[in-house]
Amino acid sequence: NAGVTQTPKFRVLKTGQSMTLLCAQDMNHEYMYWYRQDPGMGLRLIHYSVGEGTTAKGEVPDGYNVSRLKKQNFLLGLESAAPSQTSVYFCASSYSSQKYFGPGTRLLVL
Amino acid sequence: GNSVTQMEGPVTLSEEAFLTINCTYTATGYPSLFWYVQYPGEGLQLLLKATKADDKGSNKGFEATYRKETTSFHLEKGSVQVSDSAVYFCALNPDTGRRALTFGSGTRLQVQP
């Protein structure tokens, strides 16, 4: 059981570039989430999904898009990166109130 | 809306000292409460949880009691170790269908030998 995995681990982007972060889980969880972590602000929910083919906005969705084409994968896209999106991104999955987190992706936008 | 407030860090303690990290919350209904721990360079791990009032969550010597009357879920440990150095997050899961967590801002704990 790999649990929740994220790729890449680290990425540097220039303003305006696009990229996709991949989250994969092998626990057959229905719920998946994308959070961003910024200093002094804890984790904030970007988007989430309650099942394959469904997505919904969280607390800070602007500038991001997501897709859940397969149950085990949850993709987070940045169409035109901005310096304000410099952050650490965490994916999580769950079948109940307990969440399982990935190791994070550190993104730097110059 | 829902919110979680934690004491600001960093908290610096000597090994074997007593630890308290305060957490209070605002929520409608009857949320579940959690403490997560993040070790350097790693993701978040569930430390303990409590799902109803007066429940006590415990793990690895850490404890927290769900106090509805004071809307608090303070984390305690009687004797900290250097290996406990990490960032601790208090979080709540509202009793809605979305099951997304609301996190506090985190408290960094540094334990010195």
Please determine, for residue A2, whether its predicted confidence score (pLDDT) is greater than 80: no
Higher pLDDT among residues B42 and B108, named by residue: B108
- Whether the pLDDT of residue A83 is over 60: the answer is yes
- The answer, yes or no, to whether residue A73 has pLDDT greater than 90, is yes
Q: Summarize pLDDT for A9-49 with one digit per residue, the tens.
A: 999 999 999 999 999 999 999 999 999 999 878 899 999 99
A80 residue type, one letter = S
Quick one: DSSP state of residue B53?
A: T
pLDDT tier, A96 (very low <50, low <70, confident <90, very high otherwise):
confident
d(CA B66, CA B51): 8
CA–CA separation, A110 and B97 (whole Å): 38
Contact list in A for residue B104 (CB cut-off 8 A) is 42
pLDDT for residue A61:
96
pLDDT value of residue B97:
56
DSSP 8-state assignment for residue B72: B
CB A72 within 8 A of CB A30: no
- The mean-pLDDT minimum among A38-42, A56-60, A87-91, B69-73 falls in A38-42
CA B60 to CA B81: how far, in whole Å? Answer: 11
B100:A97 CB<8 A = no
| Cβ within 8 Å, pair B45-A101 | yes
Nearest residue, CB atoms, A103 vs list B43, B103, B104: B43
pLDDT of residue B98: 60
Please state, rounded to an integer, the average pLDDT across all residues of chain B.
92
Q: Residues of A with CB below 8 A from B89's CB?
A: 42-43
| Per-residue model confidence (pLDDT) at position B96 | 60
Alpha helices in B1-113 (DSSP H): none
Asked whether residue A64 carries a pLDDT value surpassing 60, the answer given is: yes
Q: What are the phi and psi torsion angles at A82 (to 5°)? A: -125, 150
Residue B99 above 80 pLDDT? no
Does B105 contact A40 at a Cβ distance shorter than 8 Å? yes
| Chain B residue whose CA is closest to A58 | B100
- Output the average pLDDT for chain A: 94
DSSP 8-state secondary structure symbol assigned to residue A85 = G
pLDDT in tens, B11-51: 999 999 999 999 999 988 789 999 999 998 888 999 999 99
Mutate to test the interface with A, among B4, B38, B99 (most CBs of A within 10 A): B99
Contact list in B for residue A48 (CB cut-off 8 A) is: 98, 100
More confident site: A79 or B94: A79
